[in-house]
Amino acid sequence: MPKSASPDLIQVDWEPIGKRVQIEAGKTLLAASQEAGIELISICGGIASCDSCKVKLISGVLSVPEFDETNMLYEDEIDSGIRLACQAVPLEDVRIYVPAESLTTPQRLQVEGQSVEIEIDPVIKVVEVKMDEPSLTDLRADAKRLKDALEAEGLNPESARISILKNLPEQLRSQEWSASAVVRHEEIISILPPKSKLFGVAVDIGTTKLAAYLVDLENGETIAKVGDMNPQIAYGEDVISRIAYTNENKNGGKVLQESLVESLNGLFETLCTETKITTDQVVEVVAVGNTAMHHIFAGLPVKQLGRSPYVPAVSEAIDIRANEIGLRIAPGGYVHLPPNIAGYVGSDHVAIYLATDLWKEDRVVVALDIGTNTEITLAAGGKLLSCSCASGPAFEGAHIHDGMRAAPGAIERVQIEADEVRYQTIANQPPVGICGSGILDIVAELRKAEIVDKRGGLRKDHPKVRKNGKVPEYLLIGADETGHGRDIIVTRKDINEIQLAKAAIRAGVEILFNRANISAEDVDEFIIAGAFGTYIDVVNGIRVGIFPDIPITRFKQIGNAAGVGAKQMLISQKRRRIAGEIRDQVDYIELTTDKSFQKEFMKAMYL
């Protein structure tokens, strides 16, 4: 490793953020991160009494860890180069990897979903054409003229669609008979001004959250990202209640579809405004989501998803014209909806297979996407076993007394030592509520401190446990310290919500283990996908019992992998083909009819 140019300055490269900073010798990595504008979490304030600022050395040399630091880390973490940023001091130029969970929420959103390198081969091609002006000796129709020009470029496109033809005469004349022709397979889907740059949008439609990524189709780069809540929440919090809504309301499906499309149109507009492009330049969308979201988005019925044997209307990939569902992109543009696996394992999970290359895995790997619905796949012995569990919205902050979504002022990390509560809020605002990762930490810490027993009951003699009527509750932060002047509390019911959610997930994992006849120790890698899954402290996840107790280094938090997979399918036809092939490799296990589910679920309720 080369030394820095100046002997007094040491260079720190931060990955995957891509920032570089030069610091004075002797400063810690935490100080270096602050100089670089990187928001590492530091619950304890940099005194090595928590492990929230964990980073990993990629190259270069750091100071040897002392007792305070090694005390906070697992041995195999230390072996793999994990350090506390508040303790480690670079001795020469270093390259440091920041795991997403060590970043505050806003910064995490920027780095999540780093993708593997794939060859760029989108379904969309652009061809520049130049035509002769019509004259009395050349009376070819505009469409024929264009087609001839495309054929001269070696293409043989089918007749263009009516939505293109509508604007063609005006466009060709105003563009002086030059154009960028956007071709999808054999079809001309759009005519744009000459030398237009083309973009696609990858969309992840979660039951609770939407995410949209604007991708440059030429180089595959994500140039903007935007997220929002799924507006369908107003019609039901989870998949089951939305299906019920469509069953009970004549145009329910249409109402849900339109509210979703309207939100997506808003997100698309934001993406285009931010990057100064027109919606006409957005020529392809790939949307992934669970099967119910997929069906509602496409305008397909979901009634049959609500009754046994819960089969989808469609499981293969479909292409819908964007204007057929009211999505505002280039008039001839398509929405590609990748295949889904079963009624409760959707295309978002297929996207995760792509993002993780799980489909070609020869080790034993678990991939788990925590959401309102949690999908789990076990890759073992060259096979993929999958299931789905109704984990509910507790991890999104819903159904929790002082719960909130991950927004400024949300408590996202908590440490409880004896009576002292340490916490970190998003954007360092005074606390106003608890988001998913916060409530998980709280339950884990309360259990560790034995304020909560293994059944989830609060120890009534603890000084911070009080009674509200007959129900005990734990005073997390007093009104004098909060942003809204009210106590922030944790109720018995909050703990129970977390127990139900984690038991559903863990029972699913255990049933897959049983089916594949393996045990937790056999797992080589345990992948946690999804926004919430990326924010949580895995150690607390193990402590609470969401995850089996295997070495911490085997866990991998990968962020919104569904979005990453969707982006891959946006820029690569090969990835779309693979998605279709994967689908047929997967064995789906229906948990609702699995005999051992109830037993595993009850067992997993214990903390």
For a copy of itself, the binding residues (CB under 8 A) are 134-136, 139-144, 147, 159, 162, 165-170, 173, 298-301, 303-304, 308-320, 324-325, 340, 342-343, 588, 590, 593
| 3-state SS class at 40 | strand
CB closer to a copy of itself, 5 vs 162 = 162
* Cβ–Cβ < 8 Å for 314, 300: yes
Give the span between the Cα atoms of 73 and 346, in whole angstroms: 37
- CA neighbor of 442 nearest in space, from 334, 560, 543: 543
CB closer to a copy of itself, 281 vs 340 = 340
CB closer to a copy of itself, 141 vs 471 = 141
Write down the least CB distance from residue 344 to a copy of itself, Å. Answer: 11
CB closer to a copy of itself, 304 vs 514 = 304
Cis, peptide link before residue 309, omega less than 30° from 0: yes
Write down the least CB distance from residue 460 to a copy of itself, Å. Answer: 46
Token reading at 480: 């004098």
Write down the least CB distance from residue 391 to a copy of itself, Å. Answer: 22
Write down the least CB distance from residue 343 to a copy of itself, Å. Answer: 8
Amino acid type, 373 = N
Long-range contacts of 167-175 (CB under 8 A, 24+ apart): 167/191, 167/331, 168/142, 168/143, 169/142, 172/131, 172/142, 172/145, 172/146
Q: Greatest CA separation found in the chain?
A: 98
Write down the least CB distance from residue 316 to a copy of itself, Å. Answer: 6
* Cβ–Cβ < 8 Å for 389, 588: no
CB closer to a copy of itself, 74 vs 310 = 310
Write down the least CB distance from residue 140 to a copy of itself, Å. Answer: 7
Token reading at 476: 């997390």
How far out from the chain centre does Cα 313 lie?
25
CB closer to a copy of itself, 87 vs 315 = 315
Write down the least CB distance from residue 347 to a copy of itself, Å. Answer: 12
CB closer to a copy of itself, 297 vs 359 = 297
Cβ contacts of 604 within 8 Å, gap of 6 or more: 502, 503, 504, 506, 507, 510, 545
* Cβ–Cβ < 8 Å for 357, 525: no
CB closer to a copy of itself, 303 vs 603 = 303
CB closer to a copy of itself, 65 vs 157 = 157
Give the span between the Cα atoms of 335 and 288, in whole angstroms: 10
Write down the least CB distance from residue 573 to a copy of itself, Å. Answer: 16
CB closer to a copy of itself, 332 vs 559 = 332
**Beta strand pairing status for 199-205 and 282-289?**
parallel
Write down the least CB distance from residue 171 to a copy of itself, Å. Answer: 10
Give the span between the Cα atoms of 542 and 526, in whole angstroms: 12
User: Beta-strand (E) ranges in 275-359?
Assistant: 282-289, 318-321, 334-337
